[in-house]
Structure 1
Amino acid sequence: MSFLRAISPLRAYRDLRQFLATRKTYELVFLVLAIVVTWTIMFAIANNSTVEKVYRPNIVYVEQWSANRTDAEIIAQQKIDGPKEKAAAEEVRRQDAETQAAYKRLDDKLKKYGL
């Protein structure tokens, strides 16, 4: 455990101070600029990396029907299910239009910057 005696935050701080004291002013300025630019880029990437994905599970429920249904029963069930299917299809179209509009806005912003 004698190697732990060589590791000391105080000794590390003194060593860093001694190293920085031997540097010229312009080297320290560029060191600070390099650190600031690096952290700015890292922060920008981390800040913009969250993309919220809409979770839409694709669950298909299967109903079991008796094999001896009459045509009238089938038509009656289709009349019940028809508006539900149309509403679901319209909702999908609306969400697709929202997504397309969001991409259009992003494309317009990128074109404004020449990309």
Structure 2
Amino acid sequence: MAKPGRNMFEHRRNSPLPGGTTRKPVRRIRPAQALGLALDGRRAYLRFMNFLRNMSPVRAYRDLRVFLAGRERYELGFLVAAMLVTGFFVYAFAKDSYFAPAYKPNIIYVEQWPATRTDAEIRAQQKIDAVTKAKRLAEQKAREDEVRAGFKKMDDRMTSWGL
């Protein structure tokens, strides 16, 4: 029984430990050691690297086969359903995270012409510009034809399905 006026656990703190010491020495661990990091270059950098030694794709495949072989048919159906639902949500979040590229204005610079320009000068410049204008119109028509062909293909496919 503890003596009156003393903490009832105080006698345990002051009792000698084996070896004649009264207190157990406290070993200080540096933060790098606590994480398993080496303090110098002679030792292994991480002590947990041996964990990866036991990993093998062949073992994982065998383990999966054994696991699935022990399951009932309905459990496999629920497994596939759960994977599909999870996959749908991953796809939905990935698709939702797409942002359209920022709008970049198409700046068209206009040439400044003097007010004293003659009709002959205007016609000469129009002949020069007609070549680039025809090229731009041909490119635009080609893009429109490509889009129109894609829509026609989809329309033909839907018609063949009866829609």
TM bucket, shorter chain: 0.5 to 0.7
Does the C-alpha gap of structure 1 residues 41 and 107 become closer, same or farther in structure 2, counting only changes over 3 Å?
A: farther
Name structure 1 gaps, 5 residues minimum: 1-23, 51-56
Q: How does 1:1-115 map to 2 (within 5 A)?
A: 25=72, 27-38=74-85, 58-115=106-163
Of structures 1 and 2, the one with the larger relative CO (CA 8 A, separation 6+) is 1
Does the C-alpha gap of structure 1 residues 59 and 89 become closer, same or farther in structure 2, counting only changes over 3 Å?
A: farther
AA partner of residue 34 (structure 1): A
| 3-state DSSP of counterpart to 2:111 | coil
Does the C-alpha gap of structure 1 residues 110 and 41 become closer, same or farther in structure 2, counting only changes over 3 Å?
A: farther
Q: Which has the larger radius of gyration?
A: 2
| Aligned-residue offset at 1:71 | 1.2
| 3-state DSSP of counterpart to 1:29 | helix
How far apart, in 1, do the equivalents of 2:141 and 2:114 lie? 33
List, as ranges, runs of 4+ consecutive aligned residues in structure 1 with deviation greater than 4 Å.
39-47
State the TM-score, normalizing by the size of structure 2.
0.40
The count of aligned residue pairs is 84
State the TM-score, normalizing by the size of structure 1.
0.54
Of Structure 1 and Structure 2, the greater helix share is in 1
CA RMSD of aligned residues (A): 3.4
AA partner of residue 118 (structure 2): T
Name structure 2 gaps, 5 residues minimum: 1-70, 99-104
